[in-house]
Amino acid sequence: MDVALIDSGGTNIGSVRYALERLGASAHLTSDPEAIRRADRVILPGVGAAAPGMARLRELGLVDVVRSLRQPLLGVCLGMQLLFESSEEGDVECLGVLPGRVRRIPNAPGIRVPHMGWNALQPRGDDPLLAGIDAGEQAYFVHSYAAPVTSDTLVTSTHGIEFAAVVRRGNRHGAQFHPERSASVGARLLENFLSGVAA
């Protein structure tokens, strides 16, 4: 299994790579369009803000590459948010392969922003990406902005508001939480992405 990790500049890239290698996948960090197009699976990691994340993809000439991928693609954290049409964070146009606008988690009594820590997952139906992940299991989140709950949402979580924690539209998948930091739940999601979803 050849997995391309898009060099999006996120600080979590190394830990995502190690998590994949523990599952037996050969993961290589690349910004080369042809290497990305040839890969069996593509992961768009990301930590930081939407505007610099999109600027990095534009600078590398990868916006149209990511939009046109036919193999399974997984966006992680900011990488998932960049799959949507736009983000309030920097008021930026994103990749637009999923409909919706990413918005800031509103401040509320007892609600800390950024949302940082373990939180329960609530699956909304069956999907190969979710095999072995049960309602109420916990995953590790770090984010201040959240994607809307739409017909593409596979899993929700709640921090003041309900938001999309895992999404899928066709070959495009996303996880708002950090699978590489989410113990067995994160490992299952990555393993399902590698071997359970249709190529």
Q: Establish whether 21 is a catalytic residue.
A: no
pLDDT at position 11: 59
Confidence at 12, pLDDT banded by 50, 70, 90: low
For residue 26, name the pLDDT band (cuts at 50, 70, 90). confident
Most confidently modeled of 12-26, 42-56, 87-101?
Answer: 87-101
The overall average pLDDT reported for the chain is: 94
Instruction: Decide the pairing of beta strands 98-104 and 145-146.
Output: antiparallel
Residue with tokens 């539209």: 169
Mean pLDDT to the nearest integer, 138-149: 97
| Amino acid residing at 65 | V
Question: How far is C-alpha 103 from the chain's CA centre?
Answer: 16
| Residue of 94, 143, 178, 191 marked active site | 178
Q: Where are the beta strands (DSSP E) in the chain?
A: 2-6, 26-30, 41-44, 73-76, 84-87, 92-93, 98-104, 115-120, 122-123, 138-143, 145-146, 153-159, 161-169, 172-175
53-92 pLDDT, tens per residue? 999 999 999 999 999 999 999 999 999 999 999 999 999 9
Q: Taking the model in full, what pTM does it have?
A: 0.95
d(CA 62, CA 191): 26
Question: What number is the average pLDDT over the span 39-58?
Answer: 92
Among residues 89, 137, 180, 191, the one annotated as catalytic is 180
Where are the domains positioned within the chain? 2-195
Q: Is 162 a catalytic residue?
A: no
Rounded to an integer, the average pLDDT of 40-55 is: 91
Q: Is 180 a catalytic residue?
A: yes
Structure tokens at 135: 């309602």
Nearest to 194 by CA among 131, 124, 125: 131
CATH: 3.40.309.10, 3.30.1300.10, 3.40.50.880, 3.40.50.920. Which one for 2-195?
Answer: 3.40.50.880
Q: Quick count: other Cβ atoms within 10 Å of Cβ 110?
A: 5
Question: Among the listed ranges 38-42, 43-47, 58-62, 165-169, which one has the minimum average pLDDT value?
Answer: 43-47
Contact indicator for 46, 76 with CB cutoff of 8 Å:
yes
Judge contact between 75 and 173, C-beta under 8 A. yes
Within 10 angstroms of residue 139's Cβ, the number of other Cβ atoms is 24
Of 77, 94, 173, 191, catalytic:
77
Structure tokens at 155: 């899993």
